[in-house]
Structure 1
Amino acid sequence: MWLFLVALVGLWTLLCFFRERQVVSYLQDKYVFITGCDSGFGNLLARQLDRRGMRVLAACLTEKGAEELRNKTSDRLETVILDVTKTESIVTATQWVKERVGNRGKVHSYLAFGPPPGRR
């Protein structure tokens, strides 16, 4: 029984070690699109990824938020105004992202409609 637990802890330690060692190569060629960059988590993430050398496409709700973010970051970060409650704004932002990224990457998205299953 003890041998099993020691082996399990050892495997867990190795897994954690190798997981933390994974590195994304060529960060300067990678794009990331982040919404909600006026403040809070989106703003913090956009600034951190910009510092790490990624090309950040940041969506802000207001021009003031976009300007403040541009002033705090490098020219690798570009902003767009996006109101996720308006279809026209979403279509415009989608086209803007496609123009920036071109055929250099894939566009992946995560859409959440309401609370997660089981939480309604």
Structure 2
Amino acid sequence: MYERKIPPNLNCGLDLVAEVLYGKWKIRLLWFISEGCKRPSELQRKIPDASRRVLNMQLNELEEHELVSKKVYPVVPPKVEYSLTGFGETLIPVIAVLGQWGDHNEEKLRRVILKRFEN
């Protein structure tokens, strides 16, 4: 298992948020779970660019940070469902505002992001 070499910097709210939400797919996972996608296979279909392994790692981290809860049903084959905790639900309005900002600034953001790849 991965062991961190440098301790996290937790001096302000932004550092704390970055520590919990850092990960390419975490914000999208939270959003899709809030919309009702609960099973790992549903989340995989919503985020096809992510490998199953990476999604599982990020879901485990979200669970460790108490943003999602995991329910394992005792059936064969095993059935797993994720849901937001009350704490995780408090993030959804913040994610919605970030998405609106991205939509509002879509052209500029796309231009500055793609500029990196032109050289």
TM over 0.5: no
Higher CA-based Rg:
1
TM-score by length of 2: 0.30
TM-score by length of 1: 0.29
Higher RCO (C-alpha under 8 Å, 6+ residues apart)? 2
